[in-house]
Amino acid sequence: MADITLQLGIKTDPAQYRYSYEWLFRLLSEEGVKYVQLGTFFEVYQLPDEYFLQLRHTAEDCGVKIHSIFTAHRDMGGFFIDEPGWECVARRNYERLIAVGSLLGVYSVGSNPGAVYRDRMESKRRGIDCYLKHMKELMQVAKQNGVAWLGVEPMSALAEPPTLPDEIRSMAEQLKAWHDQNPDGTARAGYCTDIAHGYVDADGVLRHDHLELFEITLPYMHELHLKNTDSRYDSTFGFSEAERASGIIEIAPIREMLQTRADTLPVDELVGYLEIGGPKLGRDYSDKLLADQLRESLRYLKGVWPHSA
């Protein structure tokens, strides 16, 4: 039986526009958490190379590693919008994100694929085909930039593929087949699986729970998001004592599935990134609560998610 090493990290979204990255890196260092997934922000595509080289240096000085970069704002949605300008911007931004990832020395660069306009659902197939075409080319760009993986996040709505089991399998298999045909010229592409994503339909009926969808992604998973949610997969929150009482996500079954099915995974080390938004942004009474919120969730996860400090 294969072994899997599980590591703990955090996605930087809750600190964005609220605290400096150095503040977050020092908090992680104090908590013994090494890995960071940089969430994108509006300026990320225009900032000079020097900014990211300095950010990498700042992280290293604090004893943490920026291991991944991932979209925070559905930045690459242009692949699903049937207008050449949107598609062109999405492609240009993705190439820049890969270049940024290379400057930071990351293992993976990723995004959710994008969303179909709900009043134009008939364009979904075209959008998927457009996305996959660009992803195959971007796998070559990533390889040229020294990035090992491109990440894709399965979602929770028909308008945001992949969500359904067949979509999850089909899109991943197409990207895997492309890499297998071109192993020396392409980076790998796989899933950054969110443990709190399930599919509830338009009538509010649960069709596929998070554990079912999680299991389907195992052969393609190279990183994951750790968060809590409610029974409708509506709200996102962390793992404080109160949040654990109201949420549906239990870490133990996920950890055990990864450990017992390790031979299914394409990697032997997997980082789980705490991904939460934090308290209300931009209020004096709420911004000050972020540090305690992060520490409480991270301390809980350190007790249930094996990791190396």
pTM over 0.95: yes
How would residue 296 be classed by pLDDT, with cut points 50, 70 and 90?
very high
Radius of gyration of the chain (CA): 18
Length of the chain (residues): 309
Q: Look at residues 60, 43, 146, 39 and name the one whose alpha carbon lies nearest to residue 103.
A: 146
Residue 288 confidence (pLDDT) above 70: yes
202's CB contacts (< 8 A; 6+ apart) are none
pLDDT for res 186: 98
pLDDT in tens, 70-114: 999 889 999 999 999 999 999 999 999 999 999 999 999 999 999
At residue 160, the pLDDT reads: 97
Is it the case that residue 280 has pLDDT exceeding 90? yes
User: What total number of domains does the chain contain?
Assistant: 1
Is residue 41 domain-resident? Answer: yes
> Across-strand partners of 190?
151
What does residue 307 show for φ and ψ, rounded to 5 degrees? -160, 165
CA distance 112 to 95: 15
- Tell me, yes or no, whether 309 lies in a domain: no
Other beta carbons within 10 angstroms of residue 295's beta carbon come to: 16
Instruction: Using pLDDT thresholds of 50, 70 and 90, give the confidence band for residue 308.
Output: low
Q: Based on the number of CB atoms within 10 Å of its own CB, is 88 exposed (0-12), middle (13-18) or buried (19 or more)? A: exposed
- State how far the Cα of 104 lies from the Cα of 257, in Å rounded to an integer: 31
Span 157-178, average pLDDT: 98
pLDDT band at 121 (very low <50, low <70, confident <90, very high): very high
Give the tens place of pLDDT for each residue, 15-69: 999 999 999 999 999 999 999 999 999 999 999 999 999 999 999 999 999 999 9
Give residue 129's pLDDT. 98
Q: Tokens for 305, please give them.
A: 């998610």
Q: Can you give the residue range of the structural domain that contains 44? A: 5-304
pLDDT of 119 over the 80 cut? yes
Q: pLDDT tens, 122-156?
A: 999 999 999 999 999 999 999 999 999 999 999 99
Q: What is the pLDDT of residue 198?
A: 97
- Residue 307 has a pLDDT of 73
Q: What is the pLDDT of residue 309?
A: 54
Q: Read off the CATH number of the domain in which 147 is found.
A: 3.20.20.150
Q: What integer pLDDT is reported at residue 2 of this predicted model?
A: 79
For residue 280, tell me if it sits in a domain. Answer: yes
Nearest to 64 by CA among 90, 34, 39: 34
Going by C-alpha positions, the residue among 113, 147, 304 that lies closest to residue 226 is 304
Q: With cut-offs at 50, 70 and 90, classify the pLDDT of residue 1.
A: low
- What is the DSSP track for the chain? ----EEEEEEESGGGTTTS-HHHHHHHHHHHT--EEEEEP-TTTTTS-HHHHHHHHHHHHHTT-EEEEEE-SS-TTGGGGSSSHHHHHHHHHHHHHHHHHHHHHT-SEEEE------GGGGGGHHHHHHHHHHHHHHHHHHHHHTT--EEEE---SBTTBSS-SHHHHHHHHHHHHHHHHHSTTT--EEEEEEETT--EE-TTS-EEE-HHHHHHHHGGGEEEEEE-EE-TTS--EE--SHHHHHH----HHHHHHHHHHTGGGSS-SEEEEEE----SPTT-HHHHTTHHHHHHHHHHHHHHHS----
Asked whether the predicted pLDDT for residue 261 surpasses 80, the reply is yes
How far apart CA 207 and CA 16 sit, in angstroms, is 34
Question: Is 231 part of a structural domain of the chain?
Answer: yes
pLDDT of 306 higher than 90: no
